A and B are shown apart, each in its own frame.
Chain A
């Protein structure tokens, strides 16, 4: 039986791990490769790096981090942030990433996802959807770390991305991100029920019950969290044990 996945996310800036509350007030907190090894040993099911490096001059630090991580951790690694063209994907895959997540570029040019899926295979293309609930049950795509509205309906966009060949969707609730109030379950569920590809719930985890809810109520098959793991509030092991106790199918 397929197991539900717990995915710690590391925000990486200029080759260093940082973590953000609503994507501001960044706190430098460690070496990404060392962090990755800790998560690998702790039984994380996958690992995600989100590159938030602002200057393209420092972009090469990311490839170095990915390459060093891939040499030390033999687990699935997804890298996102600043992926705008095929060349970015190719370089990340060559550095050792298994999947690449596309965010703003997918919103600006949905055909880029089609092109990327055809070129590199559906399985390595994750589309990262940042959405806010603008009215009850109404979800809109936002870009630029949640600052810019697009007027695009998140569920319609998710369907289109799956049709374009995205192998997986990372659904982040921008109004929950960093709040520790839990995932936006209606958002997660609306998208998960609308597409046939796997959905990863993201944004807002504060407790272990939030992880359970993302899967049980949100119908995601994977849960992503950053700060609860990164600042040691909970371990990966505690998260998985809690989810197992709640009746979810987990890998020990």
Chain B
């Protein structure tokens, strides 16, 4: 099985690919970093990493020749599992408002808006480890329970139109969406590739997931 990590110029895709490759030693999957629409179209799974600003990442994705069309075919038509990480998760939304309004992929309805913690002493970005509240059971959380810690770095967060799409949240001066999912699509705001054992477990779960 091939896992395509989409290379659209986002900073940390090497980290994501290394952690996936580590998790894949158990499942035997082949992890490829690719910008090639053909490879994306044929992949068994897709990982959309991302750091930086929403618009910049969207532009990078659009710059891949046929990349979005290939993702759409694999994910929406063939039902291949996709995992969005951080801004890669945010790109699944309808719209992002970082540096102006920008359309996302609109695969999970929602808006990506600035964090506004109700405690003014809380810093932006949220940077560090926060404990997940799991809202709905999902195969990517197999073997993980509410209370496990994951590593976050973000200033914007996903407000889902349908609360049932929120798989997990964290408390950061109010509820902040930590994971979303609908059908064969999942996204996590935190960085599993940086979340030590918890993150590797989640990545392994994603590789084993048969939606």
Q: Which residues of A contact B (CB under 8 A)?
A: 1-5, 40, 45, 70-71, 74-76, 93-96, 98, 120-124, 167-168, 196-199, 221-222, 251-252
Contacts and interface: CB of A to CB of B under 8 A. Distances in A.
Interface in B126-167: 126-131, 149, 151-155
8 contacts: A1-B171, A2-B122, A3-B131, A70-B15, A71-B18, A96-B14, A196-B123, A221-B127
B1 to A, nearest CB: 21
B42 interface: no
Contact of A98 (B154, B171, B172, B194): B194
B11 interface: yes
Nearest to A89: B11
A32 B80 CA distance: 40
Interface residues of B, number: 37
Most chain A beta-carbon contacts within 10 A, residue among B122, B129, B149 = B129
Contacts of B56: 121
Contacts, number: 101
Closest 3 interchain pairs by CB? Answer: A121-B52, A123-B153, A198-B123
B200 A74 contact: yes
Interface string B93-129: 0000000000000000000000000000011111111
Contacts of B191: 76, 98
Nearest to A73: B196
B193 A74 contact: yes
B51 A123 contact: yes
B27 interface: no
A222 B126 CA distance: 12
B199 interface: yes
Contacts of A96: 14-15, 18
Most chain A beta-carbon contacts within 10 A, residue among B12, B15, B126, B195 = B12
